[in-house]
Structure 1
Amino acid sequence: MSALPYVLVLYYSRNGATQALALEIAQGIDEIDGIESRVRTVPAVSPNCQATEPDIPDQGAVYCNTEDLAQCSGLAVGSPTRFGNMAAAMKYFWDGTSDLWLSGALINKPAGVFTSSASLHGGQESTLLTMMVPLLHHGMVLAGIPFSEQTLTNTQSGGTPYGASHHAHSSEELTEHERQLCRAQGRRLAQLALKLSAQP
């Protein structure tokens, strides 16, 4: 196991688009020396909020546990839009983190959010904003994508100052602009994590 600090990239993805964003953000994190990415997911839940998947996924990232979250130096959280909000699986995960809230484990760590929607105006920005709410309750320091990233002005698909995003209906594949913004967000979180963790 590496001794490097890490930024946790935590996502829920149903059809692969949010996972693709997560992997690009992780790549941006890994471009910064002295820190690395750790990619994790959460299991789906049934309408009555019970896990519906095996304890270990058949493929892709493993499920996040409390230790992954508690020990991270920074965090990126991603979910597809569900009526302008995060998916139930991600909300269910955060509803179970009161122990970390009580201990203050995430206070002063940088965090960002990302999302994907099937329609162009499918609630991306409200999803990003509502995903920030539990992070604020945990005392995290929120970081979006500043307009110094020229791609934010040039994109004609996904990408917002609140966090990276993808318009899945126009193309199943991420656009080059979407990939660039994901990597920029990852780099920024990694840099902030290193700076904030160096504070006394």
Structure 2
Amino acid sequence: MKNEVLILYYSRRGATSEMARRIARGVEEVAGVDAKLRTVPPVSATCEAVADSIPDSGSPYASLEDLRECSALILGSPTRFGNMAAPLKYFLDQTSPLWLSGALEGKPGAVFTSTGSLHGGQESTLLSMMLPLLHHGMMLLGLPFTEPALLGTRSGGTPYGPSHQAGADGSLPLSEDEAHLCRALGRRVAEAVKRLS
């Protein structure tokens, strides 16, 4: 079986997507482990609204089969009032068949987020994304304080997972520490996959 880390995220303005790409780089720094980027479509308030099956740009949309086949799962979302964004939650709510079969049980899992402000609910959003992973029986990985950037960051970064302060308009780029912590999480999850395979 191929060692593949699925990085599943929702991104509205591009910051979470950029974090996902940095995490993927960290995954692929570990020999024998590949990264797979997938996203989810937006949720519409209009009844019967149907999105195209392929997004206009960015990563392809995820399927339950992507989750079933992955060796590890890393979830990412912008913060919405201290919680994950509705499109990611909507997708996760459809994973009951995987829960019933135990498809994710024992696999490594991790989370990351981007917020508009430094105190915009980063840690509560990361915790909210951890809950479904726990219900699926996954082994959660965060960032240890042996990562120097975690102690020195003046922007995003938590032991629960990487975070980014994007600014109110979402235009702030990743800081050096934020980018480093994204790659560190990718490497950490990939190394766990190798140890477990």
Above 0.5 in TM-score? yes
TM-score range relative to shorter protein: over 0.9
* Superposition TM-score, scaled by structure 1 size: 0.94
* Superposition TM-score, scaled by structure 2 size: 0.95
Counterparts of residues 36-51 of structure 1 (less than 5 Å): 36-47=34-45
Q: Distance in 1 between matches of 2:107 and 2:47?
A: 29
% of aligned pairs identical?
59
Secondary structure of the residue aligned to 2:61 is coil
Which residue does the alignment assign to 2:119? 121
Q: State yes or no: 1:179 paired with 2:179.
A: yes
Structure 1: segments with no counterpart, 5+ residues: none
Q: Distance in 2 between matches of 1:129 and 1:49?
A: 30
TM superposition shift of 1:53: 2.7
Instruction: Find runs of 4+ consecutive structure 1 residues off by over 2 angstroms.
Output: 47-53
Q: Distance in 2 between matches of 1:80 and 1:50?
A: 25
Task: Quickly say closer, same or farther: Cα 1:165–1:49, change in 2 above 3 A.
Answer: farther
Structure 2: segments with no counterpart, 5+ residues: none
Q: State yes or no: 1:192 paired with 2:156.
A: no
Which residue does the alignment assign to 1:80? 78
Q: Which deviations, in whole Å up to 9, do the C-alpha atoms of 1:84-109 show, x marking residues without a partner? A: 00000000000000000000000000
Task: Quickly say closer, same or farther: Cα 1:156–1:98, change in 2 above 3 A.
Answer: same
1:28 to 26, 29, 35: 26
Task: Quickly say closer, same or farther: Cα 1:8–1:45, change in 2 above 3 A.
Answer: same
The one-letter amino acid paired with 1:188 is R
1:133 to 123, 126, 131: 131
Q: Distance in 2 between matches of 1:50 and 1:194?
A: 43
Task: Quickly say closer, same or farther: Cα 1:191–1:129, change in 2 above 3 A.
Answer: same
> What is the aligned length?
195
The one-letter amino acid paired with 2:115 is S
